[in-house]
Amino acid sequence: MEKKRKISIIGSTGSIGTQALEVIDKIRDKFEIIALAGGSNVELLKKQTEKYQPKLVSSSANPDLLEGNHNAKILTGMNGLEEICSNKENDIILMACSGKIGLRPTLKAIENGIDIALANKETLVMAGDIVMAKAREHGVNIIPVDSEHCAIHQCIKDISQVDKLIITASGGPFLHKTVEEMKNATVNEALAHPRWNMGRKITVDSATLMNKGLEIIEAHHLFGFDYDDIEVVVHPQSIVHSAIEYKDGSVIAQLGLPSMHIPIQYAITYPERYEGIKSKSFSFAEIARLDFEKPDFEKFPTVKLAYNAGKIGGTATVCLNAANEEAVFAFLDGKIKLYEIYEITKKIYDEHKVIQTPTIDEIFEVDEKIREKTKDYIAHLIQKVL
């Protein structure tokens, strides 16, 4: 009999986590769930725990609320996540949480030789050099869940023969809107992504194209390519999820309907493939056309800023990520306008003194400092307007 794959999900109540459980529901006999961990939605986490009966469950909120019809050991906080990631029973851990919370547990899992299905961008944007070096040292596979990187992972056969990575971007809801319309966009307009159904923070990042900027940095670390060999192309239909160009000019792309279920399933079942979540067969005739265009870096300057941060390296990307995230939160709270996300991020970024090879503790220190500085600056901006 085929051995069940033992999996834990960090961030099981979020957008990627709930979709991962939908994937697992379709191929339930392939998996044993070791642990689930969630954020503030304790009610959903409790329901999941009662349904999947994991051995461990961890909540960042009040763990007492997790008591229920299950035998899972209840854990809490960062210690809870680290205990899950130290459990060597795991064959793979899906890092589906968003934000910096994913970094320490990911390192813990790597140290314990556990493979990672990585959906958490911040892990590589903040500490890509450290994480990838540790993964190599411990012989751990990091399989990307992000659709673009998952696509590249599927295309690459012999990485030494690849010249260039081509990352596609849908262009978000403002692709063909004027700069003026984009400047005055409401939160709801920014959250109305034409192709992908994702969490709120990443959806705003997709509207400003910062998400693409962060993905370039992610790709650099995952595949070890120079920034000059990573290209972005706008592809509004989101059917071609990314591509690679071989030395001889041959281009291999990965295509599929825009559903996160597919990359999630690929990452957690790799290298096996199952029918699982597949709902219908792909039809070129139904799709009829695929469009591509050059990204407009004047309208979406975030991408240029990300290339710059990536090339500088060190804590430049930590700063970029932290300042952007705080500015996105301020936008979601209705405190600033959409275009101010870039202006604020750029201002904080320009003032940052980069540490070239930071330790993990230094990375977290810089992250904290930049967040405080960004919040202060936003408060000062609001004060000025009132």
Question: What is the spatial distance between Cα 33 and Cα 223, in angstroms, rounded to a whole number?
Answer: 29
Asked if 122 interacts with Mg ion (CB under 5 A), we say no
Q: Of 263 and 301, which has the nearer Cβ to Mg ion?
A: 263
CA atoms of 18 and 386, how far apart (whole Å): 41
CA–CA distance from 274 to each of 18, 24, 102, 114 (Å)?
Answer: 19, 11, 28, 22
Residue 208 Cβ, how far from Mg ion at the closest point, in Å? Answer: 14
Tell me the site size for Mg ion, rule CB under 5 A. Answer: 3
Could you say whether residue 146 binds Mg ion (CB under 5 A)? yes
Per DSSP, which regions of 154-234 are E strands? 162-169, 230-234
In the bound state with Mg ion, the residue whose beta carbon lies nearer, of 152 and 309, is 152
Reference 57, options 83, 37, 42; nearest CA is 37
The interface region with Mg ion, picked from 81-89, 142-150, 168-176, 263-271 by CB under 5 A, is 142-150
Cα 239 to its chain centre, rounded Å, is 19
> Which residue shows structure tokens 């990965």?
254
Cα first-last separation, the chain:
68
**By CB under 5 A, is residue 83 in contact with Mg ion?**
no
- The residue range among 69-77, 106-114, 147-155, 321-329 that interacts with Mg ion, by the rule CB under 5 A, is 147-155
To Mg ion, the closest distance from the beta carbon of 257 in angstroms equals 15
User: Residue 325 interacts with Mg ion (CB under 5 A)?
Assistant: no
Q: Pattern 305-324, binding to Mg ion, x per CB under 5 A? A: --------------------
In the bound complex, what is the minimum distance in angstroms from residue 210's beta carbon to Mg ion? Answer: 12
Residue nearest to Mg ion (CB): 146
Q: Is 271 exposed, middle or buried (0-12, 13-18, 19+ CB in 10 A)?
A: exposed
| Options 34-42, 146-154, 339-347, 368-376: segment touching Mg ion (CB under 5 A) | 146-154
Q: Which residues bind Mg ion (CB under 5 A)?
A: 146-148
